[in-house]
Chain A
Amino acid sequence: MPNTTIRHWTLREFGFQLFLGVLGLSGLLLLGSLVGPQSVEAWPPWGDPIWRLRAWRLLAAAVVGMALGCAGAALQGLLRNPLADPYVLGVATGAGIGVRLGHLGVLAAWVGAWRTPFLAMVGAIATTAMVPALAWRGARRDPWSIVLAGVMINVLNGAILMALYLWADPNRLDEFARWSMGELPDIVEPAHLAMAATLVLPSCAAMMLTATALNALALGEEVAHSIGVAIVPLRLWVCVLAGILTAAAVALSGPVGFVGLLAPHGARWLTGPDHRRVLPVAGLVGAALMMVADILARVIGHKLEIGRVPTGLITALLGAPVFLALLHARDEARGKL
């Protein structure tokens, strides 16, 4: 039997790789939580309240990164566009509107504590549905028109968000500026984290079920259709799950850019284009990216004495050059063929 990528693709082996990845992330969590302006003095560290604050924050970063990485990978596969990502398509800002409405106390009566993630989900799913609907109105399904529509929706959502802030309190615009960059709160409440995790983990797992269909879609929509992929339900499924994932992430950290874009590229670079591998690995890569960004944000802000640095600032500063380098590397690799 030939030696193929598929043949190597056995559950046990890949499961082991994933396990190593999770182990690495745990190590990152442990080490990362020791770094920062105030040293952790207690040993073992988990007795120290500062350590605990940092650990919760890092865990939150991991959950956000996992959600964005997985959502980004699925959206890139579905739209067959390497630039698709929850942030670029305006889904993150759509969720942000929901989060703002949640903070403003809309719907407080009947959803209670879940109102923020709930409204974020409504905002995110509405945007994920709206962008393809706007772009796919004609018979032509150009992958680029979707990104264009997304960029426009993103601008619109940003304006609505700004208006919501002004409406609530015109004096808090600097808070808006920080939040819209994507920032994890200093004190992550375990209840919030648990809520986000209960949304993210099952959604990531459910996303795995679309992997083979996304692989088929990579061969073109017509071919996917002819081999038995039900395209419309697939689209719906991916959009809803990506909406839920993004909403959970945004409810925790605000709209963080670049992780959803970068993590799938990193994952593909590590594993090749097979979505059965890309989706889980993108989740892990996203988690790692967010954790590193969070540690850097904490350390850099302290070193430069500029106070807290939004995590999203770091992901953007790191992400954009890395993304360009990836593009360059890919072009070079193509040139050699």
Chain B
Amino acid sequence: MTLPLQVEHLTAGYVRGHPVLTDITFDLPDGELLAVIGPNGAGKSTLLRCLLGWIHPDTGVVRLRGCELRALSHRQRALEIAYVPQFPPRTVGFSAGDVVLVGRYARMGWLGLPGPQDIRIALAAMEMTETADLFERPFDALSGGEMQRVAIARALAQQPGVMLLDEPTSHLDLRHQLRIGAMLQRVAHEWPMAIVWVLHDLNLAARFADRILVLHRGRGVALGTPADVLTPTLIEQVYGVETEVLTTGDGRLHVVVRQLGCTASQVQEGTKTSRPPGLTNS
């Protein structure tokens, strides 16, 4: 079976000649949760936009189940890729169930009337995200964490093979971050689905991701399991922060900050001369 997502030598940006992403290559198999981390402006959101087909690559190729992304129609893409943005929609009057059912758009008939099948799938998606009891509640009255779980259920109701999330947890409290992380891990492994999760929290990525892709200045500087990727050297190279990476008794990695390392400009110079270990693109 072809991989859900293949990215080969992707170079892309908003203005031709000024790429935001340079030569990114990775594969994503079914049932894998890939965390994408990197400093602000590293190109994480741009990568997601490329994977959604909103930005066409300057060079390189994004393949969805073996088909080149730009050859697919809106509908075909929507059948295979779902997207959860950073902030839940601000919409008044829809119930949470209505919001989830909107995810069935590409699979409903031309009149857009959800059948019993659509409602069953929406409910199953909401059960997966532990929001089934919110089905009738007005969406705008939910808490931030509930909204984001409903938004993920909406993406699941699309029945995609790939789910892309752009920092869905960054404005949530600790408990909700952990809850959503655990949920994404479960969805990836049980559905099974390929998930690309853009986030800032290294510990969250270490805890739940199967693999981590580190972006820095538009390049993929590391790709591998959390234990391979999250090393003090790499973190200092990319973020300019001195850290210790501890392994606790249960085998979990924890990144602990010691102090701010060299200044940002030094970091930038550093990356020009030497490249961090774990390099995947040469």
List residues of chain A with CB under 8 Å of any chain B CB: 1-7, 9, 11, 208-209, 211-213, 215-216, 218-220, 222-223, 225-230, 268, 272-274, 276, 337
Which residues in B have their C-beta under 8 angstroms from that of A222?
83, 85
Do B105 and A212 have beta carbons less than 8 Å apart?
Answer: yes
Question: Could you say which of A216, A272, A273, A274 contacts B105, with CB atoms under 8 Å apart?
Answer: A216
Q: What is the bound-complex CA distance between A275 and B113, given in angstroms? A: 12
Question: Could you say which of B74, B93, B101 contacts A6, with CB atoms under 8 Å apart?
Answer: B101
| Residue picked from A3, A208, A212, A226, most chain B C-beta under 10 Å | A226
Do B85 and A223 have beta carbons less than 8 Å apart?
Answer: yes
Which residues in A have their C-beta under 8 angstroms from that of B85?
220, 222-223
Q: What is the bound-complex CA distance between A274 and B97, given in angstroms? A: 12
Which residues in A have their C-beta under 8 angstroms from that of B135?
2, 4
Do A215 and B102 have beta carbons less than 8 Å apart?
Answer: yes
At the interface, yes or no: B244 with Cβ under 8 Å from chain A?
A: no
Question: Could you say which of A1, A2, A228, A276 contacts B77, with CB atoms under 8 Å apart?
Answer: A228
Do B98 and A5 have beta carbons less than 8 Å apart?
Answer: yes
Give 16 pairs: A residue, B residue, CB < 8 Å, sorted on A.
A1-B116, A1-B119, A2-B135, A2-B136, A5-B98, A6-B101, A212-B105, A215-B98, A220-B89, A222-B85, A226-B81, A226-B82, A228-B75, A229-B74, A230-B75, A274-B94
Do A209 and B110 have beta carbons less than 8 Å apart?
Answer: yes
Q: What is the bound-complex CA distance between A54 and B173, given in angstroms? A: 64
Do A228 and B105 have beta carbons less than 8 Å apart?
Answer: yes
Q: Contacts A212-B112, A337-B141: A230 and B105 contacting too (C-beta < 8 A)?
A: no
Which residues in A have their C-beta under 8 angstroms from that of B108?
212
Which residues in B have their C-beta under 8 angstroms from that of A7?
119
Do A216 and B52 have beta carbons less than 8 Å apart?
Answer: no
Q: What is the bound-complex CA distance between A337 and B92, given in angstroms? A: 12
Do A219 and B102 have beta carbons less than 8 Å apart?
Answer: yes
Do B106 and A227 have beta carbons less than 8 Å apart?
Answer: yes
Which residues in B have their C-beta under 8 angstroms from that of A208?
111
Min CB distance, A275 to chain B, in Å? 9
Question: Could you say which of A1, A3, A276, A337 contacts B112, with CB atoms under 8 Å apart?
Answer: A276
Do B92 and A273 have beta carbons less than 8 Å apart?
Answer: yes
Min CB distance, A137 to chain B, in Å? 16
Do B97 and A2 have beta carbons less than 8 Å apart?
Answer: yes
At the interface, yes or no: B29 with Cβ under 8 Å from chain A?
A: no
Question: Could you say which of A212, A219, A230 contacts B99, with CB atoms under 8 Å apart?
Answer: A219
Counting contact residues on chain B (CB < 8 A from A), the size range is: 35 or more
Q: Contacts A2-B135, A215-B102, A218-B89: A227 and B95 contacting too (C-beta < 8 A)?
A: no
* Contact bitstring B94-137, A, C-beta under 8 A = 1, else 0: 11011101110110101111101001000100000000000110
At the interface, yes or no: B91 with Cβ under 8 Å from chain A?
A: yes
Closest chain A residue to B93, Cβ basis:
A273
Which residues in A have their C-beta under 8 angstroms from that of B158?
227
Q: Contacts A1-B119, A2-B97, A276-B112: A227 and B89 contacting too (C-beta < 8 A)?
A: no
Do A228 and B106 have beta carbons less than 8 Å apart?
Answer: yes
Q: What is the bound-complex CA distance between A297 and B109, given in angstroms? A: 44
Do A4 and B105 have beta carbons less than 8 Å apart?
Answer: no
| Residue picked from B81, B82, B94, most chain A C-beta under 10 Å | B94
Do A211 and B112 have beta carbons less than 8 Å apart?
Answer: yes
Do B123 and A2 have beta carbons less than 8 Å apart?
Answer: yes
Closest chain A residue to B54, Cβ basis:
A225
Which residues in A have their C-beta under 8 angstroms from that of B136?
2-5
Do A229 and B83 have beta carbons less than 8 Å apart?
Answer: no
Q: Contacts A226-B78, A227-B102, A229-B105: A6 and B83 contacting too (C-beta < 8 A)?
A: no
Min CB distance, B106 to chain A, in Å? 3
Do A4 and B95 have beta carbons less than 8 Å apart?
Answer: yes
Do B89 and A6 have beta carbons less than 8 Å apart?
Answer: no
Which residues in A have their C-beta under 8 angstroms from that of B91?
218-219, 273
Q: What is the bound-complex CA distance between A230 and B53, given in angstroms? A: 13
Q: What is the bound-complex CA distance between A208 and B140, given in angstroms? A: 25
Q: What is the bound-complex CA distance between A222 and B83, given in angstroms? A: 9
Q: What is the bound-complex CA distance between A228 and B103, given in angstroms? A: 9
Which residues in B have their C-beta under 8 angstroms from that of A215?
94, 98, 102, 112
Q: What is the bound-complex CA distance between A208 and B136, given in angstroms? A: 25
In B62-94, the 8 Å CB interface with A consists of 73-75, 77-79, 81-83, 85, 89, 91-94
Q: What is the bound-complex CA distance between A209 and B110, given in angstroms? A: 7
Do B78 and A228 have beta carbons less than 8 Å apart?
Answer: yes
Q: What is the bound-complex CA distance between A324 and B116, given in angstroms? A: 40
Do A268 and B141 have beta carbons less than 8 Å apart?
Answer: no
Min CB distance, B262 to chain A, in Å? 35
Do A216 and B102 have beta carbons less than 8 Å apart?
Answer: yes
Do A213 and B141 have beta carbons less than 8 Å apart?
Answer: no
Q: What is the bound-complex CA distance between A6 and B154, given in angstroms? A: 15
Do A223 and B93 have beta carbons less than 8 Å apart?
Answer: no
Question: Could you say which of A1, A6, A211, A228 contacts B98, with CB atoms under 8 Å apart?
Answer: A6
Do A268 and B93 have beta carbons less than 8 Å apart?
Answer: yes
Q: What is the bound-complex CA distance between A337 and B91, given in angstroms? A: 15
Which residues in A have their C-beta under 8 angstroms from that of B102?
212, 215-216, 219, 227
Which residues in A have their C-beta under 8 angstroms from that of B82?
226-227
Which residues in A have their C-beta under 8 angstroms from that of B83?
222-223, 226
Question: Could you say which of A6, A216, A219, A337 contacts B119, with CB atoms under 8 Å apart?
Answer: A6
Question: Could you say which of B92, B98, B103, B113 contacts A227, with CB atoms under 8 Å apart?
Answer: B103
Closest chain A residue to B138, Cβ basis:
A337
Min CB distance, A205 to chain B, in Å? 12
Min CB distance, B48 to chain A, in Å? 10
Min CB distance, A31 to chain B, in Å? 33
Do B105 and A6 have beta carbons less than 8 Å apart?
Answer: no
